Structure 1
Amino acid sequence: MSDVSNCYYIFPINKLRELVIPWVFNELISSALVITALQLDSRNVTVGNLFIAIKGHKTDGRLYIKHAIKNGAVAVLLESTNNDNFLAQNIVNNVSSCVPIINFYKLNQAVSSIAGRFYGHPSRNLNLIGVTGTNGKTTISHLLANWVELLGEKSAVMGTIGYGMIGSMCVSNCTTFSAIDTQRILNQFIQSGIKFVAMEVSSHGLDQYRVDALYFDVAIFSNLTSDHLDYHGDINKYIMAKWRLFSELCVTNYVINVDDYIGYEWLSYLPNSVAVTIQDNLPKFWKGEWIKLVKANYFVYGTDVFFHSSWGNGIIRSQLLGECNVSNLLLALGALLVLGYPLMVLLSIADQLKPICGRLEKFKSFNKPTIIVDYAHTPDALEKILRFLGAQLCKKGKLWCVFGCGGNRDKLKRSRMGIVAERYSDYVVITDDNPRTENSQSIIDDIILKIKHSEKITIIKNRVQAIETAICQADSNDFILIAGKGHESYQIVGNDYLKYSDQDIVRNILENFIT
């Protein structure tokens, strides 16, 4: 396996002049000025901090320089580009302070490097795996960390569910953290003896340069389907954001799902790759390492995955459900194999890998339907799960789907998700899913826009009532997919985060039936 024990130590840099010297040389910056922390949010600034003022996607941090200085910032880095130097200079002129304010060209692209220098580039001293794709990031990253943990090594994850060691994670409200938080958390991991980190890498994080100064031992590509077009604008920009991880960042090895047409295309540009397929889709030109599914046996309690590979043949006996998790398991396996972990050792403990919270998570009570809670919030993810449940598990009963779509997000996918739910489910209950500031009924109207068989559809805006209705009306042989929220512990209504959990609702309903 990859050994990080001999990695050289890079000393953190906390003096401002030395910290920024690769980009800015200014003799007026005191060589003795020490920085205690880096901050992007003026509200978090305390005495001794460096405030990094950049124009964000929603908020322009440059407008809060006065507030940062008032809170104790000892210096400010001010983002400037060719188009807004005048604005930047006006901001500086309006701040009366002896605190140095340093103009920094394209600062947003350098924050990851600055934070890396400040924290001693922690990613160079651990095995860092980056996982990107529309679906599967959370599952793959948790599988990786769990697998390594079962081998007795301290490991951690960073992503949608949170960050830290599995079982003691801190909650997160984003998939990819800010450039500063990413370097800070990786540094904390090293201080606590963690040497293996699996990180979800989102298209937003890549587009905003948040992971640019990281050193990845492996980058994994799971798949790519339409999503986040409210942010990227079109599918091509979304694809190019993902491609940055494989074309512009520092990565040693790649693991690519070649069943996805994007992955198949990218493979020819990435010679240091492991090609993974569950559809016998290995390119004829491929001479590198590979993993190929032979067959998968699906059960209500898990999956047996038979495969051939460059490292030998084997069987993964897993507690995880679903065809998508066959791909996820093989992608995770490929990453560990390329790092040098022994195949047979990995297979011997695979049956101990834990199902991931809110990812095809199963609930079953005597004489009640089988309930699956999943984060599926794209047409592709919803279709794959419904098709799997209908074809492999729900053979004696009816298939229900309870779902909604998020407000103030990609509207184009709503009607497509409605079509998918109608096509692959016997009954559909449409409900709320983080409506935010958008009118709940308008979201539902978008979902049902192209539905043809309205007799299948029930609309219940209250999500608790929607779930309760499905469970009460379903037979014991039926399966109910509750999709969209997965691990989330809140419902966003307006600008408020209200305490809510699909899992808790399901447990409470099933317990009430028992009592």
Structure 2
Amino acid sequence: MADRNLRALLAPWVEQAPERALREMTLDSRVAAAGDLFVAVVGHAADGRRFIPQAIAQGVAAIIAEADGVAEDGCVREQHGVPVVYLSRLNERLSALAGRFYCQPGDDVQLIGVTGTNGKTTTTQLLAQWAQLLGARGAVMGTVGNGLLGQVYPSENTTGSAVEVQHRLRNLADAGATLVAMEVSSHGLVQNRVLALPFAASVFTNLSRDHLDYHGDMAQYEQAKWRLFSTHHSGEKIINADDEVGRRWLAKLPDAVAVTLTDALPQDWPGRWLAARSVTYHDGGATIDIDSSWGSATLHSRLMGEFNVSNLLVALATLLALGYPLAALSAVSGQLQPVCGRMEVFQAAGKPTVVVDYAHTPDALEKALLAARLHCQGQLWCLFGCGGDRDTGKRPLMGAIAEQYADRVVVTDDNPRSEEPRSIINDILSGMLDPGSVQAIPGRAEAVTAAIMQAAPQDVILVAGKGHEDYQLVGNRRLDYSDRVTVARLLGVVA
């Protein structure tokens, strides 16, 4: 690759960087190897410059490090024969640096960024599936994993580091992807991990309470999400007008596409739009009549619940804005598959219906319960917990929501991490009016078993919080555990 040379790589920022052939680019000194470029950033938790000696000992070819102020910007020094180039604002420049290193992979695919508290995973999967049904080669990057459809590998974070994002994009482009739908987290936006990416479209799903342990308050959380539409390169902008924040943003984005399930278009909206005119829910999903700037159509969805109709409409509007024809999109809508661990339905004769979902915020839990209620003939059960060492303020809120919207509630462990499980459960119960009516069963597998054994065949059990995850974090251990596998085993079906 042309820019895998230190001088060529740094040409926009440094006049006379040394000539050095480079093998790979990494932020992790532990995996740096002979011939690599080690980038020493000052991060949220650690100063990468502390690990320069380790990287040199492992044979790296060159190092780029955060400068101590503007005066040091562009300076080149040698340590043990290894050039160390100092750049100021390295975190901001890293996405562009990695883009040059991997030969601008974003230019080789149609890249869609999806941000919002809930719905990112489902929306990205729908985008990639839908485009692939019409001839594209779809790929996803996000919470569930990264890869071509059908070849998705697990990921640690929703949005990887700036280097990982560009590297994965290059691998996807080289593997034949033509459309990549990427989840963009608020952390990733604040930390400039996608700053240099050329998004063909940027999508906003919704905003509700989450990650306040990181952002501090809702205003800062909203500002983090807004970055995708204000400081990043974005072609088309697709905004959910049913969300209060979305409506506020539309006032600043007259060229955006406004999408609504509830006829919530801003008054006298001058731009493009897409709206649901009628929605019919049934056992197999939903039938949706839509009207839009591109015409009218009927969609057939196999996904459960109102919020998944919203995700579907946002995905449809995005592909329409990118030039896909409405008639073709609507014709294949019934072929779109539900997403693993997102309102995923498990059924067996004579047993209750179980829905496994990733809902782990107050808003997501409320929406999941409302969605399950649409398809429930008997009692609605809610089984959930809250993660340890995370936003404690949402625990009583989720307890109150479960009590309000479910007929029966089972509170259990999620990922307790270093916290005492019973303490987390007590925090959840503190938000309830009648905690005595709730079953508190700390072991998650035991809780799922108890709910399925007690529920009637006409009941629906929402098992919320872990979704696709196949592990549980208890203390400092990562245990093998999957809601999907547990439920499938108890019902005698295949996960």
Q: Same fold (TM over 0.5)?
A: yes
Is the contact between residue 141 and residue 181 of structure 2 (CA under 8 Å) also seen in structure 1?
yes
CA distance in 1, matches of 2:79, 2:198: 40
The residue aligned with 1:174 is 157
1:398 to 351, 371, 379: 379
The residue aligned with 2:179 is 196
Give the secondary-structure state (helix, strand or coil) at the position aligned to 2:478.
strand
CA distance in 1, matches of 2:2, 2:442: 52
TM-score by length of 1: 0.92
1:20 to 10, 21, 26: 10
The residue aligned with 2:126 is 143
The residue aligned with 1:388 is 371
The residue aligned with 1:155 is 138
CA distance in 2, matches of 1:478, 1:158: 35
Q: Partner letter of residue 19 of structure 1?
A: L
CA distance in 2, matches of 1:420, 1:270: 33
1:483 to 446, 458, 464: 464
Is the contact between residue 148 and residue 172 of structure 2 (CA under 8 Å) also seen in structure 1?
no
Give the secondary-structure state (helix, strand or coil) at the position aligned to 1:470.
helix
Is the contact between residue 422 and residue 456 of structure 1 (CA under 8 Å) also seen in structure 2?
no
CA distance in 2, matches of 1:428, 1:53: 48
Deviation of the 1:440 alpha carbon: 1.3
The residue aligned with 1:331 is 314
Is the contact between residue 426 and residue 456 of structure 1 (CA under 8 Å) also seen in structure 2?
no
Do residues 466 (structure 1) and 447 (structure 2) align? yes
The residue aligned with 2:190 is 207
CA distance in 1, matches of 2:393, 2:69: 34
1:426 to 407, 411, 414: 407
Do residues 496 (structure 1) and 484 (structure 2) align? no
Give the secondary-structure state (helix, strand or coil) at the position aligned to 2:219.
helix
CA distance in 2, matches of 1:202, 1:59: 21
Q: Give the alignment of 1:39-438 within 5 angstroms.
A: 39-82=26-69, 97-390=80-373, 392-394=374-376, 396-438=377-419
Q: Partner letter of residue 321 of structure 2?
A: V
CA distance in 1, matches of 2:161, 2:342: 25
Q: 1:381 to 1:97 in 2, by over 3 A?
A: same
Is the contact between residue 124 and residue 181 of structure 2 (CA under 8 Å) also seen in structure 1?
yes
Give the secondary-structure state (helix, strand or coil) at the position aligned to 1:170.
coil
Is the contact between residue 304 and residue 371 of structure 2 (CA under 8 Å) also seen in structure 1?
no
Give the secondary-structure state (helix, strand or coil) at the position aligned to 1:219.
strand
Deviation of the 1:81 alpha carbon: 4.7
User: What residue ranges of structure 2 are gaps of 5+ in the alignment?
Assistant: none
Is the contact between residue 489 and residue 500 of structure 1 (CA under 8 Å) also seen in structure 2?
yes
Is the contact between residue 39 and residue 64 of structure 2 (CA under 8 Å) also seen in structure 1?
yes
Do residues 446 (structure 1) and 427 (structure 2) align? yes
List per-residue Cα deviations over 1:295-319 (Å, max 9, x = no partner): 1111121111111111111111011
List per-residue Cα deviations over 1:472-510 (Å, max 9, x = no partner): 000111110000000001101122221111000001111
Deviation of the 1:343 alpha carbon: 0.4
Give the secondary-structure state (helix, strand or coil) at the position aligned to 1:110.
helix
Deviation of the 1:192 alpha carbon: 1.9
Give the secondary-structure state (helix, strand or coil) at the position aligned to 2:91.
helix
CA distance in 2, matches of 1:280, 1:54: 47
CA distance in 2, matches of 1:83, 1:113: 19
List per-residue Cα deviations over 1:446-468 (Å, max 9, x = no partner): 11112111233111110000000
Is the contact between residue 38 and residue 180 of structure 1 (CA under 8 Å) also seen in structure 2?
yes
Is the contact between residue 12 and residue 119 of structure 1 (CA under 8 Å) also seen in structure 2?
no
Give the secondary-structure state (helix, strand or coil) at the position aligned to 1:169.
coil
Give the secondary-structure state (helix, strand or coil) at the position aligned to 2:30.
helix
CA distance in 1, matches of 2:415, 2:200: 36
CA distance in 1, matches of 2:14, 2:295: 52
Is the contact between residue 252 and residue 272 of structure 1 (CA under 8 Å) also seen in structure 2?
no
Residues 109-118 or 68-77, more deviating: 68-77
Deviation of the 1:269 alpha carbon: 1.6
User: What residue ranges of structure 1 are gaps of 5+ in the alignment?
Assistant: 1-10
TM-score by length of 2: 0.96
Is the contact between residue 422 and residue 428 of structure 1 (CA under 8 Å) also seen in structure 2?
yes
State the number of aligned residues.
Answer: 492
Q: Partner letter of residue 408 of structure 1?
A: D
Is the contact between residue 217 and residue 253 of structure 1 (CA under 8 Å) also seen in structure 2?
yes
Do residues 33 (structure 1) and 16 (structure 2) align? no
Deviation of the 1:362 alpha carbon: 0.3
CA distance in 2, matches of 1:214, 1:119: 12
Deviation of the 1:60 alpha carbon: 2.4
Deviation of the 1:82 alpha carbon: 4.1
Q: 1:398 to 1:84 in 2, by over 3 A?
A: farther
Is the contact between residue 230 and residue 409 of structure 1 (CA under 8 Å) also seen in structure 2?
yes
List per-residue Cα deviations over 1:280-302 (Å, max 9, x = no partner): 11112311110111111111211
Is the contact between residue 377 and residue 483 of structure 1 (CA under 8 Å) also seen in structure 2?
yes
CA distance in 2, matches of 1:358, 1:456: 28
Give the secondary-structure state (helix, strand or coil) at the position aligned to 1:333.
helix
CA distance in 1, matches of 2:35, 2:176: 28
Deviation of the 1:17 alpha carbon: 2.0
List per-residue Cα deviations over 1:92-141 (Å, max 9, x = no partner): 99x95221122211111111000011111111222111000000000000
